Chains A and B, each alone.
Chain A
Amino acid sequence: MALIDTINPLLTTGWSKGDAGWSLKDYEARGGYAQLKRILANKMSSDDIIAEVKKSGLRGRGGAGFPTGLKWSFMPKAAPEKYVVCNTDEGEPGTFKDRDLLRYDPHSVIEGMIIAGYAVGAARGYNYIHGEIFEIYRRFEAALDEARAAGYLGQRILGSDFSFDLFAHHGWGAYVCGEETGLLESIEGKKGQPRFKPPFPANFGLYGKPTTINNTETFAAIPFILGMGGDAYLNLGKPNNGGTKLFSVSGHVNRPGNYEVPMGTPFAKLLEMAGGMRGGRQLKAVIPGGSSAPVLPAEVMMECTMDYESIAKAGSMLGSGAVIVMDETVCMVKALERLSYFYYEESCGQCTPCREGSGWLYRVVHRIEHGEGRAEDLDLLNRVTDNMMGKTICALADAAAFPVRGFIKNFRSEFEYHIEHRKCLVDPEVQRMGSGFFKAGAA
């Protein structure tokens, strides 16, 4: 879908024409590449650009929320070979904003990456695109062709001294490549097994060279920040939570989709924009930041605003801005079982705690869901997650552990019911009808 609703649109300004508005001509008509032209014409200094990005309060939109300007400033100035990499390996369940960004406005990402290349002194960039969205990869490649033909990419861009080329690298089905060093390994033609850090990519990145990696949405925000100025961007959101943010709302709402709202917008407002609860049913729980974030009960969530601090205070994470909305038809054990299966399936297998622990978690939750739970299982699950967290190279083990802990913490009685009665608290027929796949009364 294209744009449904927004407040203060920035990133989504180009989305209103749907699939008809992605091309270079449309982007330029919206003022696209003006910032790149201005930078090159004025020979803006790298420091000035980074200062502006710092001022904007832009925090990485991939999930970790690291300040972007600060990240860029870590790049060693003198290194002869540097890279800019965009992370469009969008595979966190619930997250689908980057797909739409590349689909409807790929040039904003391209311009953002070129500016980043200029700012950090890189001459080459790669955009790593999630394997399952081949059509989007094609579109991005088409946009690259346009940008190359127009002289925005390549040698001596727009007659300046600055040269930068950009390529798309297509993934082929591995969630862990969304982890930045797993992604770099994958570009290097290896398994996407994350690297031990330090050294961080700013010192030892792609091909061992200094590399800046940002999320698609982060790069897309760059032209806007430079256009409106860092201060203005910051003021769109809350202090330390600059700008607008894309929220991917999925699950039991009437209008699932991406919503761009200023940081700090109340969750209730976002839910309203998404059309409210499907079938007027009761909100039961929300995962506010993608599947790896702990689930929050309805009453807690309804009090939150959509920014890093508010969600963190409530005990979860804003993450990538993937809001998974669940209503009263959901069995929380079954929901967790599916998430646990995901992490078990996607663990890269290198670190012992994740390789062994993710399977252990899944099997125990699977048992509970299938009526074979044991009284000690909930404590066991907590113990296993405790043993996994903070002991691996990347955060996938933590990501596997958080949902388990969150679901048990906030919905313990439902798990206990499952173990004791060997069945769901929520009637199976109610669950079946909740998805909306079957028409009422159909077999």
Chain B
Amino acid sequence: MLIDERGMNSEHDMLSPELSSEALAKIDLEVAKYPVDQKQSAVMAALVIAQDEKGWLPKETIAVVAGYLGMAPMAVYEVASFYNMYDLQPVGKYKLTVCTNLPCALSGGVHAADYVKQKLGIDFNETTPDGKFTLKEGECMGACGDAPVMLVNNKRMCSFMLPEQIDKLLAECN
């Protein structure tokens, strides 16, 4: 199953920085996890929800999240720029993140990344001209026993990514 919640609300106006009512309802559920005077705790989840909806995090949307949670926009931007799975620039339809850290590298993490680069003709932090794929270098995903590992759109982890598995994944991504 491809876990991809990005662009879920097709009715939603992607050009507007505002969030859909569905997204806001999801944020409300996150807010409810925390004490009433600690709305800010939901900011990480809110940014994920916003990123899922917009495909990435434009500053204007960060400001919308700030307004919704009653935070200074700068405080939200600090968070968005600190955690490396938030995309502050547009990314392709499929963001592939390959872990190249040492334990993964010992079992082919770097080589898997090289393979993807060669297949897609892009380097890390680049997007294919058709806007389909963005390739990122990842840090430890806590799955070193499954190396090589890759994340698709932040939420789906793919294990044991040898050439055949990579070919299969790329073919699956339409």
- Residues of A participating in the B interface, judged by any CB pair closer than 8 Å: 1, 90-96, 98-99, 124, 126, 130-135, 167, 169-175, 186-192, 207, 248-252, 256-258, 291, 322, 324-326, 330, 335, 338-339, 342, 345-346, 348, 432, 434-438
Q: Are A324 and B102 in contact (CB under 8 A)?
A: yes
Q: When the two chains form the complex, which single residue of A98, A167, A335 contacts B142, counting CB atoms closer than 8 Å?
A: A98
B60 at the A interface (CB under 8 A): no
Q: When the two chains form the complex, which single residue of A189, A248, A291, A348 contacts B42, counting CB atoms closer than 8 Å?
A: A189
- Shortest A366–chain B CB gap in Å is 14
Q: Are A345 and B157 in contact (CB under 8 A)?
A: no
With the chains together, A250 CA to B145 CA distance in Å?
A: 5
Q: Are A207 and B106 in contact (CB under 8 A)?
A: no
Q: When the two chains form the complex, which single residue of A126, A169, A188, A324 contacts B103, counting CB atoms closer than 8 Å?
A: A324
Chain B contacts of A91 at CB under 8 A? 139-142
Chain A contacts of B13 at CB under 8 A? none
Q: When the two chains form the complex, which single residue of B42, B100, B142 contacts A96, counting CB atoms closer than 8 Å?
A: B142
Chain A contacts of B144 at CB under 8 A? 93-96, 248, 250, 256, 322, 324
B62 at the A interface (CB under 8 A): no
Q: Are A172 and B86 in contact (CB under 8 A)?
A: yes
Q: When the two chains form the complex, which single residue of B101, B142, B147, B148 contacts A99, counting CB atoms closer than 8 Å?
A: B142
With the chains together, A251 CA to B103 CA distance in Å?
A: 5
Q: When the two chains form the complex, which single residue of B41, B103, B110, B157 contacts A187, counting CB atoms closer than 8 Å?
A: B41
The interface stretch among B14-22, B76-84, B122-130 is: B76-84
Chain B contacts of A190 at CB under 8 A? 40, 75, 78-79
- Shortest A188–chain B CB gap in Å is 6
**Nearest opposing residue in chain A for B79, CB measure:** A191
B24 at the A interface (CB under 8 A): no
Q: Are B151 and A132 in contact (CB under 8 A)?
A: yes
- Shortest A257–chain B CB gap in Å is 5
Known contacts A189-B38, A192-B83; 20 additional CB pairs below 8 A are A1-B145, A93-B140, A132-B97, A132-B138, A132-B141, A132-B154, A134-B155, A172-B84, A175-B140, A207-B35, A207-B38, A250-B103, A256-B144, A256-B145, A324-B102, A325-B106, A326-B106, A338-B102, A435-B108, A437-B108
Q: Are B142 and A133 in contact (CB under 8 A)?
A: yes
Candidate in A250, A252, A291, A437 with the most chain B CB atoms within 10 angstroms: A437
With the chains together, A338 CA to B85 CA distance in Å?
A: 20
**Nearest opposing residue in chain A for B111, CB measure:** A437
With the chains together, A338 CA to B105 CA distance in Å?
A: 9
Chain B contacts of A346 at CB under 8 A? 139
**Nearest opposing residue in chain B for A186, CB measure:** B44
Q: Are A1 and B82 in contact (CB under 8 A)?
A: no
Contact count band on B: 35 or more
With the chains together, A189 CA to B162 CA distance in Å?
A: 37
Chain A contacts of B38 at CB under 8 A? 188-189, 207
Candidate in A131, A132, A436 with the most chain B CB atoms within 10 angstroms: A132
- Shortest A396–chain B CB gap in Å is 13
- Shortest A107–chain B CB gap in Å is 19
Ranked 10 nearest A-B pairs via Cβ: A437-B108, A189-B40, A437-B111, A132-B141, A173-B85, A250-B144, A435-B108, A134-B155, A172-B83, A250-B103
**Nearest opposing residue in chain A for B81, CB measure:** A191
Interface residues of B in 44-76 (CB under 8 A from A): 44-45, 47-48, 69, 71, 75
Q: When the two chains form the complex, which single residue of A135, A249, A256 contacts B157, counting CB atoms closer than 8 Å?
A: A135
Q: Mark B134-172, 1 if CB is under 8 A from A, else 0.
A: 000011111111111001001111000011000000000
Chain B contacts of A170 at CB under 8 A? 44-45, 48
Q: When the two chains form the complex, which single residue of B84, B106, B109 contacts A174, counting CB atoms closer than 8 Å?
A: B84
Q: Are A172 and B85 in contact (CB under 8 A)?
A: yes
Q: Are A135 and B103 in contact (CB under 8 A)?
A: no
Q: Are A134 and B107 in contact (CB under 8 A)?
A: no
Q: When the two chains form the complex, which single residue of A132, A174, A187, A322 contacts B82, counting CB atoms closer than 8 Å?
A: A174
Chain B contacts of A172 at CB under 8 A? 44, 47-48, 83-86
Chain B contacts of A134 at CB under 8 A? 3, 154-157
Known A96-B144, A258-B145, A437-B115: A171·B83 in contact at CB below 8 Å: yes
Chain A contacts of B103 at CB under 8 A? 93-94, 250-251, 291, 322, 324
With the chains together, A207 CA to B151 CA distance in Å?
A: 32
B91 at the A interface (CB under 8 A): no
B27 at the A interface (CB under 8 A): no
With the chains together, A133 CA to B38 CA distance in Å?
A: 25
Q: Are B112 and A437 in contact (CB under 8 A)?
A: yes
- Shortest B46–chain A CB gap in Å is 9
- Shortest B134–chain A CB gap in Å is 15
- Shortest A91–chain B CB gap in Å is 5
Chain A contacts of B110 at CB under 8 A? 435
Q: Are B147 and A250 in contact (CB under 8 A)?
A: yes
Chain A contacts of B79 at CB under 8 A? 189-191
Chain B contacts of A126 at CB under 8 A? 33
Chain A contacts of B146 at CB under 8 A? 1, 96, 256
Chain B contacts of A256 at CB under 8 A? 107, 144-147
